[in-house]
Each structure stands twice: as structure tokens, then as C-alpha cells.
């Protein structure tokens, strides 16, 4: 067996690497995803690692941080993180690799520990998958202005102009098209959205959304009676987003509990798109924002004249139909809303 002090140094270094990597992942889950379940799972795993090691005094005594050859190594990749997913992936891999080292070297001191570390390692593999899918859904909601198409104007033309103007999300909505026509429209817009790297959402049909590989599906209240969110999720898969239309505080809270990734809230103002819908007003929007943690998209009658009222509530996302589709200069209307 190698020098026991050197083995303890390896165990000390990798315990620290594993726990530190998991702490970074925990912060992502706690403060960015705001997911209590994931945060609790990671915290429990960190505690389990510390419990298996059990000899902090001996590890500290063996530590030689100033003599560690890796102390001054800093690769090009270490100094660059382009997105949140990169931080997550790097730290989860760091934790997994460290636990593998713990699994192997601990066998030299206590063979029983190897089996315990192996169990933790496989828990990390499964946890990585679940959090990665959740992060994918989170990144798909990284938009502000969200344009909803309508038969009022050609869907593909609307999508092309909206994307050229800088819109980060498009939703296909057409209550008059046949399902075949709807699929063809969705397929074309999905290709366009992928080319621009933006979020594309299909209204009403999760099966079509899946077939065209859209980012998600949006369901109305009437859709939920036939197709609950849990069933839509089975069709769409875990890496896609599901949005729900809500018209009251109660519906917003219910949608969150049912597992929606985001909700639309409206109509906020009077709109010809929903002539029978009584405007909720910004006060209801504010209450919804205070009551749910998931992203909220304000919708209904929003235009350059009132968009500032939406932003004052703290709402970061808003959808438009008439304000853009009914405007002669489509691109200018979008630019005005984006700059408001």
C-alpha cells in the first residue's frame, strides 16, 4: 500500500472537490431554479459524503495544499463559462470524478467505504440528468417580448419579420386551420426558430409540438380539461416547456401546482383578440407575480402606450398580437416594444 499520508491527502482533496462542486450546483438549484426538492437532495448528498469520510482531523493533518502540484494549474476551459449550463456541467462532472476517486482510494483504508461512495456516484448520475432537463426548460424561458401569430396575417411572414426584429419567442396560434395545415405551419416556423436560436411554442397541440421539435406547447383552460399537464408532459418529454393560459389568481396558483413551466396572465387590458374576456388590470397581474414563482407572461391589449405599466409590476415577459400584427410597420412596432 502507498504511504498512508498520501492516500489521506487524495481523500481530503477529493472530498473537498466533490463537496465544493455540489455546493455550486446547489446554489443554481436554490437561487436560480428556486427548486427546493433539488436543493434538499444535493444538501443531503453533501452530508452523506462527509459522513462516510468521518475523519476530518486526520485529513486536515495530512493536507499539504501549498505543496499540491495542481494548485497553480488553470486551464483555458476553467476560465471560461458562456452560460449557466456550462457552470452546472463542469461542477457536476467535478463532483462525480471526485467521488470516483474517493471510491477507489478509500478501499485502501476501509473496503466498506468503496461501496458507499459508489452508491453516491450513481445517485449523482441520476440527479445530473434531472437537473440538466430542468435547466434546459429554464433556458427556453429566457425571453422578454413574445409574439403570438394569428390568421390576421401570414404566419410565416410574421415569424420571419419578428425574428429579424430581435424577438426571442414565437407562438403559433390559429384556431381556424385544420390539424394538417397547423402541422405544416409549425414545421416551417420550427425550422426558422432553430435557425435563429429562439424559443418556438405551439398552441394547443403537444403531439404536433413534439413532431416538429418545438421548444414547448401552450395550453388553454379548455385544453386542460381534456389534457392535464401531467399527460402533456408525457407527450412532450422532460426537456420541453409547457405553458398555461390563466385568467385569475386562482388559475395561476393551480397551474403552478399542476407543474406548468410558465403561465400567461390576461387579458390585462381590453383586446379584440379576447372580446368576451374581462380585463384583469395590472393589480391582478401584480398579485399573480407575488403569488407564484414560475415565469409569468402578461398578455392582452398590450401596446407601446401601456407596456410601461406592465414593466412597473415587475413582469419581465409580455406577449403581443394586435400591437404587432395590426401595425403597418411591423418591424418598427416590435422595435418600439423592445425598447419601451
Q: Which of 111, 132, 133 is nearest to 237 (CA)?
A: 133
Please, what are the domains in the chain? 4-139 (1.20.1260), 141-339 (3.20.20.70)
Q: How far apart are CA 195 and CA 5, in angstroms?
A: 56
With beta carbons less than 8 A apart as the criterion, state whether 217 and 243 touch: yes
Give tens-digit pLDDT for 253-293: 999 999 999 999 999 999 887 777 799 999 999 999 999 99
Q: What is the mean pLDDT of residues 190-197?
A: 97
Q: How far apart are CA 295 and CA 212, in angstroms?
A: 24
The answer to whether residue 48 scores a pLDDT higher than 90 is yes
With beta carbons less than 8 A apart as the criterion, state whether 42 and 127 touch: yes
According to the model, what pLDDT value does residue 273 have?
Answer: 74
With beta carbons less than 8 A apart as the criterion, state whether 220 and 202 touch: no
Q: Which of 45, 64, 55, 73 is nearest to 6 (CA)?
A: 64
Q: How far apart are CA 172 and CA 155, in angstroms?
A: 8
The rounded mean pLDDT for the chain is: 92
Q: How far apart are CA 113 and CA 204, in angstroms?
A: 52
pTM of the predicted model as reported, rounded to 2 decimal places = 0.88
Q: Say which residues have a Cβ less than 8 Å from residue 129's Cβ, sequence separation at least 6.
A: none
According to the model, what pLDDT value does residue 103 have?
Answer: 97
Specify binding-site residues for Mg(2+): 204, 223
Specify binding-site residues: 171-175, 203-204, 223, 245, 271-274, 301
Task: Tell me how crowded residue 14 is: count the other CB atoms within 10 A of its CB.
Answer: 25
Instruction: Please give the C-alpha separations between residue 235 and each of 171, 216, 240, in angstroms, as whole numbers.
Output: 19, 11, 10
How big is the CA angle at 29 (ends 318 and 99), to the nearest 5 degrees? 150
Give tens-digit pLDDT for 76-86: 676 677 899 99
b/e 93-109 (16+ beta carbons within 10 angstroms → b): ebbbebbbbbbebbebb
Sign of the C-alpha dihedral, residues 309, 312, 313, 314?
A: positive
Give tens-digit pLDDT for 88-122: 999 999 999 999 999 999 999 998 999 999 999 99
Residue with cell 485502501: 108
Amino acid at each position: 500500500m502507498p504511504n498512508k499520508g498520501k492516500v489521506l491527502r487524495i481523500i481530503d482533496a477529493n472530498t473537498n472537490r466533490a463537496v465544493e462542486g455540489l455546493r455550486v450546483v446547489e446554489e443554481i438549484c436554490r437561487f436560480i431554479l428556486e427548486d427546493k426538492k433539488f436543493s434538499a437532495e444535493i444538501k443531503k448528498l453533501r452530508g452523506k459524503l462527509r459522513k462516510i469520510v468521518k475523519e476530518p482531523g486526520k485529513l486536515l493533518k495530512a493536507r499539504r495544499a501549498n505543496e499540491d502540484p495542481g494548485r497553480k494549474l488553470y486551464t483555458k476551459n476553467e476560465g471560461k463559462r458562456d452560460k449557466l449550463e456550462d457552470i452546472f456541467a463542469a461542477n457536476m462532472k467535478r463532483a462525480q470524478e471526485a467521488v470516483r476517486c474517493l471510491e477507489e482510494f478509500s478501499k485502501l483504508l476501509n473496503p466498506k467505504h468503496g461501496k458507499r461512495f459508489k452508491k453516491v456516484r450513481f445517485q449523482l448520475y441520476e440527479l445530473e440528468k434531472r437537473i440538466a432537463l430542468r435547466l434546459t426548460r429554464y433556458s427556453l424561458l429566457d425571453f422578454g417580448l413574445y409574439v403570438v401569430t394569428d390568421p390576421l396575417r401570414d404566419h410565416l411572414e410574421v415569424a420571419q419579420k419578428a425574428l429579424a426584429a430581435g424577438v426571442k419567442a414565437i407562438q403559433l396560434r390559429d384556431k381556424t386551420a385544420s390539424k394538417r395545415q397547423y402541422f405544416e405551419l409549425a414545421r416551417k416556423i420550427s425550422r426558422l426558430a432553430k435557425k435563429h436560436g429562439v424559443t418556438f411554442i405551439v398552441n394547443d397541440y403537444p403531439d404536433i409540438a413534439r413532431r416538429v421539435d418545438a421548444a414547448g406547447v401552450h395550453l388553454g383552460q379548455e385544453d386542460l380539461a381534456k389534457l392535464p399537464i401531467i399527460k402533456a408532459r408525457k407527450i412532450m418529454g422532460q426537456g420541453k416547456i409547457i405553458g398555461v393560459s390563466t385568467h385569475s389568481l386562482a388559475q395561476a396558483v393551480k397551474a403552478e401546482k399542476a407543474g406548468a413551466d410558465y403561465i400567461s396572465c390576461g387579458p390585462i387590458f381590453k383586446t379584440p383578440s379576447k372580446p368576451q374576456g374581462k380585463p384583469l388590470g395590472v393589480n391582478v397581474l401584480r398579485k399573480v407575480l407575488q403569488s407564484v414563482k414560475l415565469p409569468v407572461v402578461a398578455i392582452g391589449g398590450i401596446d407601446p402606450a401601456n407596456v410601461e405599466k406592465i414593466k412597473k409590476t415587475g413582469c419581465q415577459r409580455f406577449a403581443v398580437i394586435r400591437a404587432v400584427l395590426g401595425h403597418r410597420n411591423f418591424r418598427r412596432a416590435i422595435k418600439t416594444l423592445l425598447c419601451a
